[in-house]
Homo-oligomer: A and B are copies of this chain.
């Protein structure tokens, strides 16, 4: 059983996120939580000796995961095992008073989620800023836009970045909202009625409320649930993971698009020094980091699926068929999105374009890309929309076929159109359109500028996000 590490933590996620979820880290968080509860209880009048608190504090860093695992094997109860370990170390029995397991675990796990969500939002803003930089840098690079993977009209590379960036902005706003509303379970006792805390304080409701408020403050969180059961509703986990999936989506679409672009040699994700494309085909420069992003989104989708199966499946005041799932799904979802962000930021650093290939493609398709413009001009000139459309279509398809069959070497669409009375535009007019509009990408540039301005606002709200550099990726 020895060496089976968590693949996501080991290979893809950053230290910042894994340290929130490591076994030792969590145990320390829990112990701090217990100590905070004891202190607050003492302050509210419970008889807890000062030296007991000191004893617990002095041993809180002594984390022996093997010993705890040994205890769990006997008790078959993980929290009990951790209570016993901590008490034996301290030589007292004062922690966990008036508490049930879930008073500890729910709040600590939610704290982990909260801290992770903060980190992911910050890193997503870094990604957004990186997109903004690329959008700005390439705002004048004309590009053949594709729909259905077929050349359609001209756009710019800058706008293509802006498109994904704007999608990310929306996901970020939603995730920020979720964070701002994040609600922990609080100290609610075995079934949510706070009965045991109430007993501890001899029925003093105010003290119960003060104790919870104090703990909330310790957690650094604004809201606690009011009428909750043994556990907080699992739809809260679902919402969080759903937002991670949403954050991943624009980056996943970008990655797929870059894989397609790389197939045309228009651009690539770049190549780190020393990297080997393929052990057998040394010339290959694979979009492996893009593929990884798409893979990590598939993984997030799997965890979303798990989360959706816990949400709405709670019996009575709570059940824990969710337990084994959440142990896996919560850290791994954050590891996956973190690894995805690290991968994306790396691509943003190394992204390369091949301007001469881009230009070659533009020239090849130009007359086609102008068909809608020509259609507009023909209609303005008095042509019936449907008839002109039909004529253009005939010639466009003929040109496509001739090019594909090698019968012509250059796109002769304009020539064909000039000779068709239905269109009603002569060769001169068509040449003029080509000259005037050939380098036009509509409003792609002002749209990009608008997006970049919006990114600036994010930068001001998250002043450190722009400086973040991804770690070295595998």
Q: Would you list which residues of chain A between 305 and 346 have a CB under 8 Å from chain B?
A: 305-306, 308-325, 327-329, 331, 339
Query: With an 8 A cutoff between CB atoms, is A61 at the interface?
Result: no
Query: With an 8 A cutoff between CB atoms, is A363 at the interface?
Result: no
Query: With an 8 A cutoff between CB atoms, is A62 at the interface?
Result: no
Is there an interface contact between B373 and A226, defined as CB atoms closer than 8 Å? no
Cα–Cα distance between A328 and B97 once the two chains are bound (Å): 40
Tell me what chain A mostly uses at the interface: helix, strand, loop, or mixed: helix
List B contacts of A100 (CB < 8 A): 278-281, 372
Is there an interface contact between A227 and B317, defined as CB atoms closer than 8 Å? no
Cα–Cα distance between A116 and B362 once the two chains are bound (Å): 42
**Known A-B contacts A1-B9, A77-B276, A193-B153; A315 and B256 likewise in contact (beta carbons under 8 Å):** yes
In the complex, per-residue mask of A235-250: 1 if CB is within 8 Å of any chain B CB, else 0:
1101100100110111
Is there an interface contact between A239 and B174, defined as CB atoms closer than 8 Å? yes
Query: With an 8 A cutoff between CB atoms, is A228 at the interface?
Result: yes
In the complex, per-residue mask of A245-275: 1 if CB is within 8 Å of any chain B CB, else 0:
1101111110011011011110000011011
Interface size class of A (residues with CB under 8 A): 35 or more
List B contacts of A304 (CB < 8 A): 304, 308
Closest CB in chain B relative to A100 CB, distance in Å: 4
Please list 22 pairs of residues, one from A and one from B, whose beta carbons are closer than 8 Å in the complex, sorted by A's number.
Answer: A8-B328, A73-B474, A77-B279, A100-B281, A145-B317, A146-B263, A148-B259, A150-B284, A150-B286, A153-B195, A155-B317, A162-B226, A166-B228, A200-B376, A235-B249, A238-B242, A239-B242, A252-B311, A253-B315, A256-B314, A282-B396, A354-B404
Is there an interface contact between A147 and B191, defined as CB atoms closer than 8 Å? yes
Is there an interface contact between A167 and B302, defined as CB atoms closer than 8 Å? no
Closest CB in chain B relative to A377 CB, distance in Å: 7
Is there an interface contact between B399 and A283, defined as CB atoms closer than 8 Å? yes
Query: With an 8 A cutoff between CB atoms, is A184 at the interface?
Result: no
Closest CB in chain B relative to A302 CB, distance in Å: 4
What 7 A-B pairs have minimum CB-CB distances, sorted nearest first? A283-B396, A193-B442, A195-B442, A252-B312, A282-B393, A356-B406, A162-B227
Query: With an 8 A cutoff between CB atoms, is A460 at the interface?
Result: no
Q: Specify which of B251, B313, B331, B442 is in contact with A4 (CB 8 Å cutoff).
A: B331
Closest CB in chain B relative to A52 CB, distance in Å: 12
Closest CB in chain B relative to A296 CB, distance in Å: 6
Of the candidate stretches A118-126, A213-221, A383-391, the one touching chain B is: A383-391
Is there an interface contact between A153 and B191, defined as CB atoms closer than 8 Å? yes
Is there an interface contact between B199 and A262, defined as CB atoms closer than 8 Å? no
Is there an interface contact between A440 and B155, defined as CB atoms closer than 8 Å? no
Cα–Cα distance between A166 and B229 once the two chains are bound (Å): 11
Closest CB in chain B relative to A184 CB, distance in Å: 12
Is there an interface contact between B309 and A324, defined as CB atoms closer than 8 Å? no
Closest CB in chain B relative to A267 CB, distance in Å: 10
**Known A-B contacts A170-B181, A173-B181; A146 and B315 likewise in contact (beta carbons under 8 Å):** yes
Copy number in the complex reads 4
Of the candidate stretches A29-37, A107-115, A445-453, A462-470, the one touching chain B is: A445-453
Query: With an 8 A cutoff between CB atoms, is A421 at the interface?
Result: no
Query: With an 8 A cutoff between CB atoms, is A225 at the interface?
Result: yes
Taking each of A148, A229, A331, A376, which has the highest tally of chain B beta carbons within 10 Å of its own beta carbon?
A148
Is there an interface contact between A281 and B146, defined as CB atoms closer than 8 Å? no
Query: With an 8 A cutoff between CB atoms, is A23 at the interface?
Result: yes
Is there an interface contact between B242 and A276, defined as CB atoms closer than 8 Å? no
Query: With an 8 A cutoff between CB atoms, is A297 at the interface?
Result: yes
Cα–Cα distance between A153 and B247 once the two chains are bound (Å): 37
**Known A-B contacts A312-B249, A313-B256; A148 and B280 likewise in contact (beta carbons under 8 Å):** no
List B contacts of A357 (CB < 8 A): 404
Q: Specify which of B7, B404, B448 is in contact with A6 (CB 8 Å cutoff).
A: B7
Cα–Cα distance between A229 and B447 once the two chains are bound (Å): 11
Q: Would you list which residues of chain A between 123 and 164 have a CB under 8 Å from chain B?
A: 145-150, 152-155, 159-160, 162-163
Q: Would you list which residues of chain A between 348 and 392 have a CB under 8 Å from chain B?
A: 354, 356-357, 368, 371-373, 375-377, 379-380, 384-386, 389-390, 392
Taking each of A150, A265, A324, A357, which has the highest tally of chain B beta carbons within 10 Å of its own beta carbon?
A324
Q: Specify which of B13, B234, B283, B377 is in contact with A368 (CB 8 Å cutoff).
A: B283
Is there an interface contact between A317 and B146, defined as CB atoms closer than 8 Å? yes
Is there an interface contact between A385 and B93, defined as CB atoms closer than 8 Å? yes
